[in-house]
Structure 1
Amino acid sequence: MSWTDYGVIFPVNNLERWAKSHAYVPTAIELDETIRVFVAFLSGKNHGRLGYVDVCRHDPRQIRGYSKSPVIEDAPEGCFDANGVTPLGIVREQDTMRLYYAGWEVVPDPLVRYRLQTGLLLGDPVKSYFKRYGVSPVIATRQVEENVRTGGCILKLPDGYHCWLATQKGSTSHMGKVLPVYDLEYLHSEDGLLWPEAQTNVFSHKPNEILGYGRSAIWLNEKHEFEGLFSVRNWDGNYTDIMYATSLDGIVWSSLSRSGMAFCAKMTCDGQTSVSFPNIIQQENRKLMFYNGNDFGREGLRLAIWSD
């Protein structure tokens, strides 16, 4: 049992006028014989717009197409997502889909730079039609100093919606660049629309070691135990390891490990120095992992496959 890395399966280099680079934070869902991988394509000014890449379900290295235009229009100036969107998680809900996303808002303060909150789209991914649930985030920041409350991995289980998200606990700087410091925390909602303000800590930042935790991948195995691949951000702002842990309840986890199903930059087929933002599609006898490589996925969509 191990990972086989296939590197970039869909390059992004001046793909469209609105999609100059990146396949940022891949977020996938199976649609019959196709897997649709939602990503944020970045413009030349690093404005993230929601698009997708379609791959073959049986051989995800085969590309079937991609979005020629953004899935949703830009939000008006002043909205919490006016400066870009990033997909986070997809949940099936009866005849519709819920796509949770990070909304980017540039803040005119050099000590803050931006605010990240969690929004929600409702729609039909087959027809590529989505609309915003509202003009406000469903998971919003709660105080002036908290500018990051997003990056969530979201699961729908019989008892409701479970979310593991990054929440800001301070800030630091590296080479003149201000960086938020954030923990990974847990939230539960009965309907996935109303979320409590109180959260439970899962993994804490570690000064001079771990800056925070990016969008991770968490799932239930056949024993109904939680497994997770956690995108760990180093103190200098780089991501070099996707670490592995297990849990019985989704709240108390084993120690983060570079063994088990962990995936590190040194395991890539083309010598990447950064890996981050994993997303898992479980299939019989294997798991597909879509993820980002160097510079937060600048080159395009990457794939690794775990064979049982």
Structure 2
Amino acid sequence: MSGGWTQLGVVFAVAGDRDWSRSHAQAPSAIVLGDRIRVYYGTRNSENRSRTGFFEVDRADPTRLLHDHDRPVIDLGKPGCHDEDGVIASQIIVLGDEMRMYYGGVSRGGHVPYRMSVGLATSHDGGLTFERVFEGPVVDRTPLEPYMTMAPNILIEAGRWTMWYGSGTGWVEVDGKFEPTYQIKLAHSDDGLHWHQTNHACIPRLHPLEANTRPSVLRTAEGYEMWFCYRSSRDYRDGAGSYRIGHATSTDGRDWVRQPDPEGLQPTGSGWNSVTMAYPSVVEADGRRIIFHNGDGFGQTGVGCAIQEIRS
């Protein structure tokens, strides 16, 4: 059993003095590496195109910044590819001497602002640089999922790979502008390269205009726990419909029961996360859970963290 979360505030924000990183530390993706926690994030240049960087914090004290990497770990995709306008890490998996990065690839749209799909890159230098395994995506639009895919989170159990990810369910016109809706869905693989997308929706929506995405899943004694974020399609840019962090549980990883929002992970009403809590990434270390997340502005105000003690 676990109690509520204690927010520790901002642990990292970009300085804006690098050509490839003028604003945002968006969608943090955390991994425990020895005595530190490395957090990959998406950051934007002056053209609003995203690359992935990382910072590292002390595992014992995640408010203590140890390293701010000064260059992106992967560049934009080739013109016309699925990731020509953005590469935003979502999950890092260590397989022996190899690290795999599953990421959201961004390409600008026409009638709608953009589309996203899931790409894969690997590293053999400890995650300092990554090379694409394929120029194209590994999880993308299908006949049953015609809009986009994003924000993958993966567990490997007994040789079976399971991915939870955001899947586009449509675009709705709000005040003359198209806004995306999406829902967390499920895919399986035998090797992490070739995926079977089930089109199974994991998290029931509270209303038709809800968008839920960015799952972060942990295995527990009872089954699985998921933290995710959800918003309305109206007034969600730091308004009344802004992102919140949700919570769900499952016995099998397929069918999920939505739980009350986690205690302690609400917006604070002032400061960097006054109205928004978004893009959770949860890790376990030393008898506690640590969640990295964004606040207002989709990462403009930086990355914060909160901790939760695990009670036996």
Runs of 4+ in 1 over 6 A off after TM superposition: none
2:229 matches 1:231 = yes
Partner of 1:255: 258
Give CA-to-partner distance per residue, 1:206-262, whole Å, 9 cap, x none: 54551x1121211112x1510111211223244332111111001111124225x57
Partner of 1:220: 219
Residue 142 (structure 1) shift = 1.5
- What amino acid maps onto 1:229 in structure 2? W
Q: Matches of 1:197 and 1:208 in 2, distance apart?
A: 22
Partner of 1:291: 293
2:197 matches 1:169 = no
- What amino acid maps onto 2:40 in structure 1? F
- What amino acid maps onto 1:255 in structure 2? R
Partner of 2:141: 141
SS in 1 for 2:80: coil
5+ residue gaps in structure 1?
none
Partner of 1:123: 123
8 Å Cα contact 1:92/1:98 also seen in 2 = yes
Q: Matches of 1:277 and 1:127 in 2, distance apart?
A: 21
8 Å Cα contact 1:231/1:278 also seen in 2 = yes
Q: Matches of 2:107 and 2:82 in 1, distance apart?
A: 5
Partner of 1:18: 20
Q: Matches of 2:140 and 2:250 in 1, distance apart?
A: 27
5+ residue gaps in structure 2?
none
SS in 2 for 1:99: strand
Give CA-to-partner distance per residue, 1:130-169, whole Å, 9 cap, x none: 1101111011112498231122221122241111112122
RMSD, aligned CA:
2.1
Residue 78 (structure 1) shift = 0.5
8 Å Cα contact 1:181/1:205 also seen in 2 = no
Partner of 2:46: 44
Partner of 1:178: 178
* Structure with greater proportional strand content: 1
Counterpart among 58, 72, 75 of residue 74 in structure 2: 72
Q: Matches of 2:41 and 2:72 in 1, distance apart?
A: 10
2:306 matches 1:304 = yes
- What amino acid maps onto 2:147 in structure 1? N
Distance 1:96 1:287, change over 3 A: same
Residue 127 (structure 1) shift = 5.2
Q: Matches of 1:185 and 1:301 in 2, distance apart?
A: 26
Residue 268 (structure 1) shift = 8.0
SS in 2 for 1:296: helix
